[in-house]
Amino acid sequence: MTSTPLADLWPTLPGADARPEAAYRLLQAAVESFAERGFHATTTRDIATAAGMSPAALYIHYQSKAALLAEISRAGHAATLTLVRGAVAGGGGPAERMRELVEQFTAWHARARTVGRVVNYELHALPEDAYAVVAALRLDIEREVSALIEAGVAAGEFQVAEVRTAARAVTSLGIDVSRWYTDNSSEAPEELGRRYGELVLRMLGARV
């Protein structure tokens, strides 16, 4: 598996300050195990072994495999929310900012596809409190995208019949990249982002 190291995706990892390297190794091992076998078929021993540690050493950092899943899901969603907010706060009009948002969001899901799969397909395995955190982050992402579409409509740059459905389509297109993108995909993540940026602007009725 040739996924990007988590440290590149999440430059800071709250809660892992004490021994960041070991925590990263565990998160990386958990991501790959969950993506390969699914959460339920993965044991804490599998994760510890893949990280080159004993199960006891794992418990110094994380209480359970559910705590690892919760941290992966939280950090993955927080990273995409940060990226979305960065694009929304950027320069230019709504169409320009939407292009930036889709380019970044798409490229992230191509590069971080292994994390993306775990984050999006193992939601049902999250403990209730961790699910609530992730649901709040997802709602924030949807709201940012909806607000940008509304700004574009107000500015006369977009023509959209149902803002919520359009926002859903925009995020959905990006998220699903994690499912189908592989090392053999013909477009590099940035090129795919560029193409998807064009497609989304048209979908929103922008003149491109």
- Please give the residue ranges that form the binding site for a second copy (CB under 8 A): 36-41, 117, 120-121, 124, 161-162, 164-166, 168-169, 172-173, 175-177, 179-180, 186-187, 192, 195-196, 198-200, 202-205
Let me know: does 106 contact 146? Beta carbons within 8 Å. no
The one-letter amino acid at 166: A
- CB nearer to a second copy: pick between 58 and 160: 160
- CB nearer to a second copy: pick between 5 and 38: 38
CA 148, 152, 155, 157: dihedral to nearest 10 degrees? 160
- CB nearer to a second copy: pick between 143 and 179: 179
Shortest distance in whole angstroms from residue 7 CB to a second copy: 25
Shortest distance in whole angstroms from residue 16 CB to a second copy: 27
User: Which residue has tokens 């922008």?
Assistant: 206
- CB nearer to a second copy: pick between 39 and 108: 39
Let me know: does 123 contact 134? Beta carbons within 8 Å. yes
87 closest CA partner among 167, 10, 141:
141
Shortest distance in whole angstroms from residue 127 CB to a second copy: 16
- CB nearer to a second copy: pick between 96 and 198: 198
Shortest distance in whole angstroms from residue 35 CB to a second copy: 9
Shortest distance in whole angstroms from residue 97 CB to a second copy: 19
- What counts of helices (H) and strands (E) characterise the chain? 10, 0
CA distance 59 to 62: 5
CA distance 178 to 159: 28
